[in-house]
Structure 1
Amino acid sequence: MDRLLSWRFALCWSFCASSIRTHVRMRREVSVSELQSALDSLAADDLYVLSDAQVLDRTAFLVQLVNRASAELTRTVRRAETTQAAERDGLKSMRSWLIGHVRLSQTEASRVVRSGRVLEHFPALAAGFAQGVVTAAQVNVVAEKIGAGEVARVAEQGIDLGAFDQAWARVAADSPHESLAAAVQAFKDALDPDGAEPDPTEGRRLTIVKHADGSISLRADLDVVGGEKVQAALESIVQADRPKGDERTRTQQNADALVQLCDNQLASGNLPVLRTVKPHVVVGIDLDDLVDPATGAGAGEMGFGATISAARARYLACDGSISRIVMGPDGVPLDLGRDHRVVTPGLRKAVERRDKSCVFAGCGAPSWWCDVHHLIHWLHGGETNLENSALLCERHHTKVHHGFRVERQPDGRWRTYRPDDTEIRIGAPL
Structure 2
Amino acid sequence: MAMTAQWDEGYGTAPGLRDALRSLTQGAGGGGELWRLGDAEVTDALAVVGQARALLEVAEVDLVREGLARGLPGESSWSPADWVTRAEGQRAPDPGVRHTASVVRVAQAGTRMAGPSALKATDAVNDLRGAFEAGELPLGKADQLARFHAQVAPVADEEMLEEDLGALVAAAKDDVVATGPEGRRRERVRGLGEKELAVAITRTGRLLKPEKESEDDDRRAKRGRSLTKSQGPAGMSLYRVVLDPEGAAVVDAALAALSGPVKGPDGQADERPATQRRADALVEIIRRGVASPGAEPKCEKAQVVVTIGLDDLHQGTHGAGVTATGQVLAPSVVRKLACDAGIIPVVLGGDSEILDLGRSARWFTPGQKRALWLRDGGCTYPGCTMPPQWCDAHHVAWWSRGGASDIGNAALLCERHHTRVHTRDLRASITPTGVTWHL
Question: Please, what TM-score do these two structures have when normalized by structure 2?
Answer: 0.41
Which protein has the larger Cα radius of gyration, Structure 1 or Structure 2? 1
Question: Please, what TM-score do these two structures have when normalized by structure 1?
Answer: 0.41
Structure with bigger RCO (C-alpha 8 Å, 6+ apart): 2
